[in-house]
Chains A and B, each alone.
Chain A
């Protein structure tokens, strides 16, 4: 694999590796990513995370020590997205994204009551959360003033594999709506309006939820082990209705990104049926997770060991994922947020409505593309 180092949301040669756990021989196939709608079938439902990305990286200094710092907003302390005063945040010492996070210095020792000066913004440290890099903070001012400060001083969180500074237009997906994500819900970057029109014509449903995607990496092993942090989400009633209809007609629910899986599977545990509304996803998804809602996932490529990789284990066993990793390597797929994508279809339970009637996404070792 190679790092996708340019912020190109939809390179014309973007690829999609397809793994369908229903294929008895565990075969894979390669497709052009723009053909995603043709890999879906009438009645399927594509669910995306429509969170827009905050400019969550804020540079400045700690008033007490004068030390230069970078604050990366990483968690909402309130379920009410209208309130932008309090956040959990990961703090780095001097430097910026050009240095790998693993190599970034620690911030000065912070303690409750410290004041951080971040461009036009001021924030008070509410406390250190069990790790010298992780703090709770409260911004000074009205919500409108704080949002204006983010808008003019903040930049998208980014990592060393992309050399040029990212702007919001690089990280907002075409469907980006409420700015609540700390990092882009990157699987959704593949969407454009042409694709959304194409799936309408083929009776493939489209629905969204808003999930406050958190940071994907801190560069610190102890802190990374705590990822993903708790993430609030909003599941609209219209999306619940669309999922119920999909179930009824035996279609598949296809999650665009790990955050969609986390939100939907969390919402499914809140009651006997999928419940609309606001909640906080706290669970981890891994090999032992029984998926209740999502049948397939479209996601970027992830390294074994990461929380994203663990989530994929809920869709496919280790043997199939090992073949996926080998194929990504062998075919030189691009990795990271602007890279190529994977579609993994989980094995449907024989008892599930429509399972027997489902046609595999892979036929005769080829991606089964339906008519345009």
Chain B
């Protein structure tokens, strides 16, 4: 591939949670290769450092989206390192208890923990980032929040209670936010990347046929295509706004 041809997202400012494995890592790699300015967050300092080192220019941040006290420090480092924010990808997730258990066997504390990571974390980080996203929208940037969900948010799979319920809540939160924020030029979308060959999938379904699973890089490619489309749409809208009307 010609690296010059790939710079489709040059200068785009993207923040990603859960950036050191699975889909999040694939997104970091794809976006950096396309010229985007990327900052990512994950809990393990050593892995954050390793991913930041392998992806030149990417800003690694240590933090835990399930902790309320970590949210503003993350938002501060995203917007500080990137000089603003065009796209926020809430990708960090937890499965809840593993091996997967029936909802009736799920401890209350485990359900709470799943909601903290999969619902409260994205809610808090999006809220703390809205000022930066709305600023990007006013300047003609894409101003996009992508919340990673799952078909478990739609279908009732036995054993996927904590995960499925939390992802369903995230999906509905996203739809309401998209209604509310459209007037400010900020869009919020939910993406179901499908079943991927990731460490998380291996935890949930240890005996899965890995060959039948999507590669994270392919799932990332589809999400990056969505970002490219939105970026182009925003740029066209800006052109219409700023060009003088024909006489």
Contacts and interface: CB of A to CB of B under 8 A. Distances in A.
A131 interface: no
A176 B127 CA distance: 11
A169 B72 contact: yes
A52 interface: yes
A179 to B, nearest CB: 5
Given A172-B131, A175-B134, A176-B131, A147 B139 contact: no
A208 B60 CA distance: 29
A177 B140 contact: no
Interface magnitude class on chain A: 35 or more
Interface size class of B (residues with CB under 8 A): 20 to 34
A173 B242 contact: no
Interface string B63-76: 00000000011111
B152 interface: no
B183 A238 contact: no
- Dominant secondary structure of chain B at its interface with chain A: helix
A260 to B, nearest CB: 14
B59 A144 contact: yes
A236 B79 CA distance: 17
Given A174-B131, A177-B132, A52 B183 contact: no
B138 A167 contact: no
A148 B131 contact: no
A322 interface: no
B88 to A, nearest CB: 13
A148 B62 contact: yes
A168 B76 contact: yes
Interface in A152-197: 152, 167-169, 172-179, 193, 196-197
* 3 interchain residue pairs of minimum CB distance: A151-B73, A168-B72, A177-B132
Interface of A: 50, 52, 54-55, 81-82, 84, 143-144, 147-148, 150-152, 167-169, 172-179, 193, 196-197, 200, 207-208, 210, 236-239, 241
Given A197-B183, A237-B139, 9 more contacts: A50-B131, A52-B131, A52-B132, A144-B81, A148-B77, A151-B72, A169-B72, A179-B79, A196-B184
18 contacts: A81-B80, A82-B81, A82-B83, A144-B61, A148-B73, A151-B74, A151-B77, A172-B72, A175-B135, A176-B131, A178-B79, A178-B135, A179-B76, A193-B130, A193-B181, A197-B183, A200-B183, A208-B135
